[in-house]
Amino acid sequence: MIRQGKKGFDYFDYFYKCADYAKQAARFLHETLTNFDPEEFPAQVEKMHAIENSADSMKHNMMMALAKEFLPPIEREDIVSLSHELDNVVDSLDEVMQRLYMYNIRTIRPETLEFTSLLIRCCDALAEAAAEFRNFKRSKILAKKIIEVNDLEAAGDALHLKYTRQLYCEENCELDLLIWMNVFERLEMCFDQCENVTDLMEGVILKNT
């Protein structure tokens, strides 16, 4: 459960914990694909989905608290939007695992690990931004972390462009081409979701300073 102090629900603590679930999911995705075992993979998919379910449960608790909140620390719609986008980060990481399972992937293309390694960095930076977000009016760190997430999202776009083109330059069968195009697209979407969160943070900062 999220910490609830004397003044009510701690929404900023909730934002950090959501981002921390994203960190966990990114690391779990990378470790699973680095040590990929197709026989063990279904169990790993379930473990990832358990992380996603935990994040969903926490979001539900927050929404129940917000419904009763008289005066939240930032605008109600900003809390809802940030919660939604943070949840989307974990959902998108879970979706990568689901796709690999659905397509019955038996081997992992090595470039996939470049995506997942970069995603760890991106989710780490997102969590650091979320940890600093409660101090957004005076923080000297938050803006740097937002820029870092944006830079890592751009790096993710570059990987997506590079390796999608590589798929077309290789002699892949049509099915493999479609499968890995989709997987790379889903990986790239994870970076987009991280950037969506920091874009909303910037919006909150502009409205409240």
| Helix 76-102 / helix 111-132 crossing angle, nearest 10 deg | 160
pLDDT of residue 8: 76
pLDDT band at residue 16 using 50, 70 and 90 as cut-offs = very high
| pLDDT of 68 | 92
* CA atoms of 163 and 144, how far apart (whole Å): 29
d(CA 32, CA 50): 15
Which residue in 99, 88, 117, 90 sits closest to 25, CA to CA?
A: 90
Residue range 76-89, pLDDT digits in tens: 999 999 999 999 99
Quote the CA–CA distance of 122 and 26 in Å, as a whole number: 9
CA distance 48 to 45: 5
Task: Please name the helix (run of DSSP H) or strand (run of DSSP E) that holds residue 8, with its range, or none.
Answer: strand 8-9
What is the structure's pLDDT at 7?
63
Alpha carbons 86 and 197: distance in angstroms, whole number: 6
Tokens of 199: 């874009």
End-to-end CA distance of the chain: 30
- Domain spans of the chain, in order of start: 8-208
- For the record, the structure tokens of 195 come out as 């950037």
Q: What is the pTM of this model?
A: 0.93
The pLDDT > 70 percentage for the chain reads 97
In CATH, the architecture of 8-208 is Up-down Bundle (1.20)
